[in-house]
């Protein structure tokens, strides 16, 4: 059996799809299971040599190029190159775990004998391309993914904890950076403003954590990241900015004592790695999108928060009501700090 997973991004979404695919790998180790993913998130699936604990191989979708230069010759070459590579594999089954028109088109152009997806995908047009439409079941997206993949493959699946690839250079870099310190990683960014806890709170938290003996870092995708810079400034030197790619972030988070952040990729990464997490939720529903993994997870969400996936710029009112004291109370419950 040759099976293709289509879940191109982003970080948290790929991590939420992985427990279902890992369960399928455990149930059918002889199957070839490949994955189409944005090149930015490939380190979640395979190392630099193309080896990973779950998938046989990845096909890279250059979605950033496609979005930025949709009509350029480079985009056309990229799309046609992906189509050629996918069709050469002659897949028996492709499963769109993303539910957008773009991901459905990728699944369709693979030429797989069958393309399956949710009957109610994120973008309704996507369903028109599916040869098989599967009813969404489960509360959390991880459970939904396992139900989708299991029904499409004809196997009863329950999501399992995942292992992520390691890179030697990243492990060495992270070990040198941490250097035996008790590390707290702050993940202050998010996909849109409503999911971001105020940077001033992160700054205050960093100062308090430093007083409790933690080394505090705020992760950033690049050195000019405005959110990370604002947190570092608000912390008055208590939080250090660490710029790293996905492979580096995996290695760094593995060594953390705790990660604190909003509904963002690093929060879901920490949960997947079994690292203690304090997750700060506002407009998104943690029952559906919360961190999932084998570690200790504490989700904070004010009772006034209203579930909305509208991409507004301002911090959601309920999320703004969560205070630094609330975070410390959660950390005390988790046994991470004392009174």
**Rounded to whole angstroms, how far apart are CA atoms 45 and 238?**
33
In a domain, 16, yes or no: yes
- Identify whether the C-beta of residue 250 lies closer than 8 Å to the C-beta of residue 43: yes
Whether residue 208 sits in one domain with residue 85 = no
Angle between helices 73-89 and 101-109 (to 10 degrees): 50
Q: For the chain, give me the number of helices (H) and strands (E)? A: 13, 12
In the chain, how long is the greatest CA-to-CA distance? 61
Whether residue 143 sits in one domain with residue 74 = yes
Whether residue 301 sits in one domain with residue 211 = yes
Whether residue 189 sits in one domain with residue 148 = no
In a domain, 160, yes or no: no
Whether residue 200 sits in one domain with residue 245 = yes
In a domain, 159, yes or no: no
In a domain, 226, yes or no: yes
Domain harbouring 49, CATH code = 3.40.50.2000
Whether residue 127 sits in one domain with residue 48 = yes
In a domain, 236, yes or no: yes
**Rounded to whole angstroms, how far apart are CA atoms 261 and 126?**
32
Range of the domain at 24: 2-153
**Rounded to whole angstroms, how far apart are CA atoms 13 and 22?**
15
**Residue after which a domain boundary falls, among 92, 121, 153:** 153
**Residue after which a domain boundary falls, among 110, 126, 153:** 153
For residue 339, the SS3 value is: coil
- Identify whether the C-beta of residue 302 lies closer than 8 Å to the C-beta of residue 183: no
Instruction: Please give the model's pTM, rounded to 2 decimal places.
Output: 0.96
Whether residue 120 sits in one domain with residue 185 = no
In a domain, 161, yes or no: no
**Residue after which a domain boundary falls, among 113, 130, 153:** 153
Overall domain count for the chain: 2
Per-residue pLDDT 10s for the chain (339 aa) are 999 999 999 999 999 999 999 999 999 999 999 999 999 999 999 999 999 999 999 999 999 999 988 889 999 999 999 999 999 999 999 999 999 999 999 999 999 999 999 999 999 999 999 999 999 999 999 999 999 999 999 999 999 999 999 999 999 999 999 999 999 999 999 999 999 999 999 999 999 999 999 999 999 999 999 999 999 999 999 999 999 999 999 999 999 999 999 999 999 999 999 999 999 999 999 999 999 998 899 999 999 999 998 899 999 999 999 999 999 999 999 999 986
Residue 179 CB partners (closer than 8 Å, separation 6+):
none
Whether residue 216 sits in one domain with residue 145 = no
Q: Taking the CA atoms of the chain, what radius of gyration do you get in angstroms?
A: 20
In a domain, 126, yes or no: yes
Whether residue 129 sits in one domain with residue 216 = no
């Amino acid at each position: 059996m040759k099976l293709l997973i289509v879940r191109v991004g982003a970080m948290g979404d790929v991590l939420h799809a992985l427990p279902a695919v890992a369960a399928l790998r455990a149930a059918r180790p002889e199957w070839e299971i490949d994955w189409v993913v944005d090149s930015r998130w490939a380190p979640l699936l395979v190392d630099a040599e193309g080896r990973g604990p779950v998938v046989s191989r990845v096909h890279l979708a250059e979605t950033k190029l496609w979005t930025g230069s949709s009509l350029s010759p480079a985009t056309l070459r990229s799309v046609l190159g992906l189509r050629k590579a996918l069709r050469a594999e002659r897949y028996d089954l492709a499963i769109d775990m993303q539910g957008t028109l773009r991901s459905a088109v990728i699944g369709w152009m693979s030429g797989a004998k069958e393309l399956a997806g949710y009957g109610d995908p994120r973008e309704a047009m996507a369903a028109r391309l599916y040869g098989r439409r599967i009813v969404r079941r489960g509360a959390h997206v991880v459970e939904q993914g396992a139900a989708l993949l299991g029904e499409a493959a004809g196997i009863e699946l329950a999501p399992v904890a995942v292992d992520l690839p390691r890179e030697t250079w990243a492990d060495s870099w992270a070990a040198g950076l941490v250097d035996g310190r008790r590390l707290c990683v702050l993940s202050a960014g998010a996909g849109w403003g409503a999911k971001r806890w105020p940077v001033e709170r992160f700054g205050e938290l960093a100062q308090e954590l430093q007083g409790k003996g933690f080394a505090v870092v705020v992760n950033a995708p690049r050195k000019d990241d405005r959110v990370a810079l604002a947190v570092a400034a608000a912390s008055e030197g208590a939080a250090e900015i660490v710029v790293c790619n996905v492979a580096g972030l995996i290695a760094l988070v593995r060594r953390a004592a705790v990660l604190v952040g909003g509904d963002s990729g690093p929060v879901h990464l920490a949960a997947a790695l079994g690292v203690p997490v304090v997750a700060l939720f506002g407009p998104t529903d943690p029952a559906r999108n919360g961190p999932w993994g084998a570690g200790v997870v504490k989700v904070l969400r004010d009772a006034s928060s209203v579930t909305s996936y509208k991409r507004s710029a301002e911090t959601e009112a309920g999320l703004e009501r969560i205070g630094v004291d609330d975070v410390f109370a959660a950390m005390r419950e988790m046994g991470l700090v004392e009174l």
